[in-house]
Amino acid sequence: MSTTADTPPGTPRWRTRLHAGSEQRPTPTAPLRFAFCGRVSTEDNQDPAASRAWQLNRATALIAPHGGQVTAEYFDIGHSRALPWKRRPQSAALLAALASPNRPFDAVVVGEPQRAFYGNQFGNTFPLFTHYNVPLWVPEVGGPIDPDNEAHDMIMSVFGGVSKGERNRIRIRVRSAMAAQTQLEGRFLGGRPPYGYMIIDLGPHPNPAKAADGKRLHGLAPNPATAVIVQRIFSEFLAGKGFFAIAETLTADGIDCPSAHDPARNRHRSGIAWSKGAVRTILTNPRYTGHQVWNKQRKDETLLDIEDVTLGYTTTLRWNAQAQWIVSDRIVHPPLVDDETFAQAQDIINSRTRTATAHGVKRTSNVYHLRGTFICSACGRKMQGNWSHGEAYYRCRFPAEYALANRIQHPRNIYLREKDILGPLDHWLARMFAPHRLDDTIELLAATPDIAPASGHSLRAEEARNTITDCDTKLATYRAALEAGADPALVTQWITQNQATRTRAEADLRTAQLARSTQLTRDDIAALAHAHSDLVMVLAEAEPADRAALYQRLGLILTYDSGKQKVLVEMNLNQHFSGTRGLTVGVRGGT
């Protein structure tokens, strides 16, 4: 066998044969399959359909000359670009698909890099594409990004910086415009009107485009029914009455408190009576002087996990100091009190104020196993968690003005220590779900007359399925992160928490699927009881957060009678069994 003419002398024969055998063997190439990745921030500010269309058109124009076609789409709607990929649902699903050998695409294409990557997100995400050998195509590069090309890396880093700068400029521009509109124009910028005022129409919006869309300019005007109450509060306070005394007289006179006057805007409040806090809020609101006020609160971005900065930030609402408030230069709506009256009220309040931690800064990290399950028998309200001397307590603080309004004999504070109830509670649950007692428990549940109808079961099943899907996506992402070199201990912790969440979701799904439109059968109840028995058996060894979640799954309702120092335990298993009474246990603690 002779060698080719261009083969250098002394070339090994095996190399010559390999070279000769590889010639003239064309292999047919199939169309390259692409996954399209895009994002639109909010439905209110942008049209998701139009945004998706133009991004997809750019991506298609890039890959079409190379014979590529889009076979999968991952398009996030309503998610900020500041969120990292693993916290955007569709982007996280794309990252999970990268690790799958059966993924329905060979490469990924984005329509606009500024919408896909923000800040240093490209540097945190692209290594996964390289690891799984999936090309990433970008229009600005003209094709796939070369991981060994410094120019490509620099271009994508610049786009991430441009994206971050664009978002910051928009935020600064909007805040500056709102500050100027408040200070110079005194414009009402939205939100609920203060008690004593109502919103009125002031004509077409000054922005021609918004006016063409039918938007109107609004302002504040005195509410005839409540403006006199505000003036009365200021008058009585300057006359020497305190917050509680004013609240008591208003309640005694049958005057609706702010939350009762406007219940549609205050669904989270009881509206039983005037509170001291409501009186103080009115006395410290400078809007009653006729000036517009803005920037009383701000949104801060704080790290979601200080141990892993790649998870990005979370938005937290916090109060600003009074010096940072933006107040209009002139009176823009009818005042309910004059400046001198308001200033006198502030002097009195400041003379009584004690130095305390800034409002809204403290965050609890303590775990309450029975959060949201305790009810005070005296007033019927839920008891709140309270951490004291290194232990978890549950407290019912019933303001005196509420007690007066409802003629309830209620101690000012009722306390119950958590550890005094956990032992008897776990013992009862273990007995109820023990293998030799499980049949009796099922009979007890089946004999309960008030079995809840299956309204909303489809929704609960869908939520459970979504949770399971989300857990599977996260699990694939965690495994990919582990393969990419992430901290094994941290990833293992994430996987453990994810699996616990998935187990609870599977139990929810089984429960919802067993529900009927009218009444559960005994077989259904037996299936539910057996499904929960496994959870009860691991209570003693569960982590605090998982243990608290298990109590929630069992639908426990604990009613505390402080006079008898007894706790009535009821179980509403997965909210299908109403009023399944358990036991009454004695606890220590007092009022």
Residue 529, domain member (yes or no) = yes
* Proportion of the chain above pLDDT 70, given as a percent: 72
146-201 per-position pLDDT tens digit: 988 888 888 888 888 888 888 888 888 888 888 888 888 888 888 888 999 998 88
Considering the domain architecture, whether residues 223 and 341 belong to the same structural domain is answered as yes
Task: Say how far apart CA 510 and CA 527 lie, in whole Å.
Answer: 9
Considering the domain architecture, whether residues 117 and 221 belong to the same structural domain is answered as no
Residue 454 reports pLDDT greater than 80: no
Segments forming the whole domain that contains residue 110: 33-166
CATH of the domain at 85: 3.40.50.1390
Among the candidates 166, 186, 207, a domain finishes at 166
Considering the domain architecture, whether residues 234 and 140 belong to the same structural domain is answered as no
End-to-end Cα distance, the chain: 104
Q: CA-CA-CA-CA torsion for 284, 288, 291, 293, nearest 10 degrees?
A: 40
Residue 389, domain member (yes or no) = no
Burial class (CB in 10 A: 0-12, 13-18, 19+), 261: middle
> Element (H or E) spanning 231, and its range?
helix 227-238
Considering the domain architecture, whether residues 336 and 214 belong to the same structural domain is answered as yes
For the segment 254-276, the average pLDDT, to the nearest whole number, is 78
Residue 12, domain member (yes or no) = no
Higher-pLDDT residue of 470, 519: 470
So what's the pLDDT on residue 335?
93
Task: Say how far apart CA 122 and CA 162 lie, in whole Å.
Answer: 13
Q: How many domains does the chain have?
A: 3
Residue 527 reports pLDDT greater than 70: no
Residue 101, domain member (yes or no) = yes
So what's the pLDDT on residue 337?
94
For the segment 527-552, the average pLDDT, to the nearest whole number, is 64
Considering the domain architecture, whether residues 109 and 226 belong to the same structural domain is answered as no
Which residue is it, tokens 């692209």? 126
Burial 371-393 (b: 16+ CB within 10 A, else e): bebbbbbbbebebebbeeeeebb
Higher-pLDDT residue of 35, 296: 35
Residue 404, domain member (yes or no) = no
328-351 per-position pLDDT tens digit: 899 999 999 999 999 999 999 888
Considering the domain architecture, whether residues 206 and 270 belong to the same structural domain is answered as yes
Residue 391, domain member (yes or no) = no
Question: Which positions ≥6 away from 187 have C-beta within 8 Å?
Answer: 181, 217, 292, 332
Considering the domain architecture, whether residues 127 and 244 belong to the same structural domain is answered as no
Considering the domain architecture, whether residues 216 and 275 belong to the same structural domain is answered as yes
Which residue is it, tokens 């919802």? 512
284-326 per-position pLDDT tens digit: 999 999 999 888 888 887 777 777 777 777 777 888 888 888 8
Please give the backbone phi and psi of residue 587, each rounded to the nearest 5 degrees, phi first.
-130, 155
So what's the pLDDT on residue 476?
76
- The DSSP letter of residue 340 is H
Q: Where are the beta strands (DSSP E) in 56-186?
A: 69-77, 107-110, 136-138, 143-144
So what's the pLDDT on residue 71?
92
Considering the domain architecture, whether residues 209 and 132 belong to the same structural domain is answered as no
- Specify the 3-state DSSP secondary structure of 505: helix
So what's the pLDDT on residue 232?
94
219-230 per-position pLDDT tens digit: 899 999 999 999
Residue 242, domain member (yes or no) = yes
- The DSSP letter of residue 194 is P
- The DSSP letter of residue 573 is G
> Element (H or E) spanning 288, and its range?
none
Question: Which positions ≥6 away from 271 have C-beta within 8 Å?
Answer: 256, 257, 259, 260, 263
Q: List the one residue out of 347, 387, 337 whose CA is nearest residue 233.
A: 337
Give the DSSP letter string of 22-90. Answer: TTT-----PPPEEEEEEEE--TTTS-HHHHHHHHHHHHHHHHGGGT-EEEEEEEEES--TTS-GGGSHH
Alpha-carbon torsion 286, 290, 291, 294, what sign?
Answer: positive
Which residue is it, tokens 């994810």? 498
352-408 per-position pLDDT tens digit: 766 555 444 445 567 788 888 888 887 777 888 888 888 889 888 766 555 555 555
Considering the domain architecture, whether residues 143 and 230 belong to the same structural domain is answered as no
Higher-pLDDT residue of 62, 449: 62
CATH of the domain at 217: 3.90.1750.20
Considering the domain architecture, whether residues 427 and 544 belong to the same structural domain is answered as yes
Question: Which positions ≥6 away from 311 have C-beta within 8 Å?
Answer: 84, 86, 87, 303, 304, 305
Considering the domain architecture, whether residues 285 and 213 belong to the same structural domain is answered as yes
So what's the pLDDT on residue 157?
85
How many alpha carbons lie under 13 Å from residue 274 in its C-beta half-sphere? 24
Residue 189, domain member (yes or no) = no
Task: Note whether 279 and 297 are within 8 A (CB).
Answer: no
So what's the pLDDT on residue 13?
57
pTM comes to 0.55
So what's the pLDDT on residue 2?
45
- The DSSP letter of residue 515 is -
Among the candidates 146, 166, 186, a domain finishes at 166
Say how many C-beta atoms besides its own lie within 10 A of residue 121's C-beta: 22
Task: Say how far apart CA 448 and CA 453 lie, in whole Å.
Answer: 13
Beta strand 33-40 with 107-110 is: parallel
566-586 per-position pLDDT tens digit: 888 877 654 443 344 444 545
